[in-house]
Amino acid sequence: MSLPDINEVRHRIEQVKREDIRFCLMSAYLLAARISEIVSYSSPSDETMGRGPRGTDVQIENFQIGETIEKAAVFKLRTAKRGGKIRFVALPMNPIYEPWTQPLYGYFKKHGNKPVFPFTRQLVWQYVRKWKIFEGLFYPVDKYAVWKNKRKIRDVNEHLKPFNLHALRHLRATELVQFYGFDGRDLATYGGWTFRSMGLPSTADRYLSLGWQSYFPKLLKRRE
């Protein structure tokens, strides 16, 4: 069992007709973000707070590698867990490395100091389901145990689930590891996972909001 083809998922996102949803999905994928880290609003019954960015939450930075200077769009996100801890995700502006960065940067900037995605995650779910954006795609779920009152009720074997919004985050993480050569520290810094979840000392978690420069050179790789 494996994740769907990355190019197929990207193509489907590019074909989304509604502009705000299209850029929302592009953001969720490229930034390896939970959807609640992209949208700014929450429904009354939703316990998960929308922490989406404003148009001002992206800046252009220069990164020097040898004698070459590469421009990076650095996006500021508020992590859904751990109280909205800020992390920075850098993407190459050069389209030979990432063709979505420039359009996404422009979309952010035109919103100024207003939320970029002023809607709820439920609206995104409803649109994706209605227009069958990811119909026919699946992602693998590893075997896990179901617990209740500290007692294991049953084991659930590995299986496939229909591809959903959260799967975008895991698809991007897989691409970062397999194509760009990210290690656990890079992945934690980029995606907001804790160092402990990556098998690294948890004492470094306080520095997760720093250090996009450490992984940025790995992103300077032409897409297949």
Between 28 and 207, whose confidence is greater? 28
Overall pTM surpassing 0.85 (yes/no): yes
**Residue 115, amino acid:** P
Instruction: Compute the average pLDDT of residues 46-60.
Output: 94
H or E segment to which residue 8 belongs: helix 6-14
Confirm if 221 and 180 have CB atoms less than 8 A apart.
yes
Nearest of 88, 93, 60, 91 to residue 76 by alpha carbon: 88
Nearest of 39, 89, 70 to residue 190 by alpha carbon: 89
Q: Which residues contact 213 (CB under 8 A, 6 or more apart)?
A: 63, 90
- If pLDDT is split at 50, 70 and 90, which confidence band does 64 have? very high
What percent of the chain is predicted at pLDDT more than 70? 92
Strand partners of residue 71 = 62
Tokens 């032409």 belong to: 222
The number of beta carbons lying within 10 Å of the beta carbon of residue 193 is: 21
Q: For the segment 167-217, what is each residue's pLDDT rounded down to a tens digit?
A: 999 999 999 999 999 999 899 999 988 765 555 545 444 555 558 999 999
pLDDT reading at 118 higher than 80: yes
Question: What is the predicted pLDDT for the residue at 44?
Answer: 87
Q: For the segment 70-96, what is each residue's pLDDT rounded down to a tens digit?
A: 999 999 999 987 678 899 999 999 999
Question: What is the predicted pLDDT for the residue at 203?
Answer: 46
Three-class SS of residue 212?
helix
Q: For the segment 124-162, what is each residue's pLDDT rounded down to a tens digit?
A: 999 999 999 999 999 998 899 999 998 999 999 999 999
Q: What is the CA radius of gyration of the chain?
A: 18
CATH placement of domain 6-219: 1.10.443
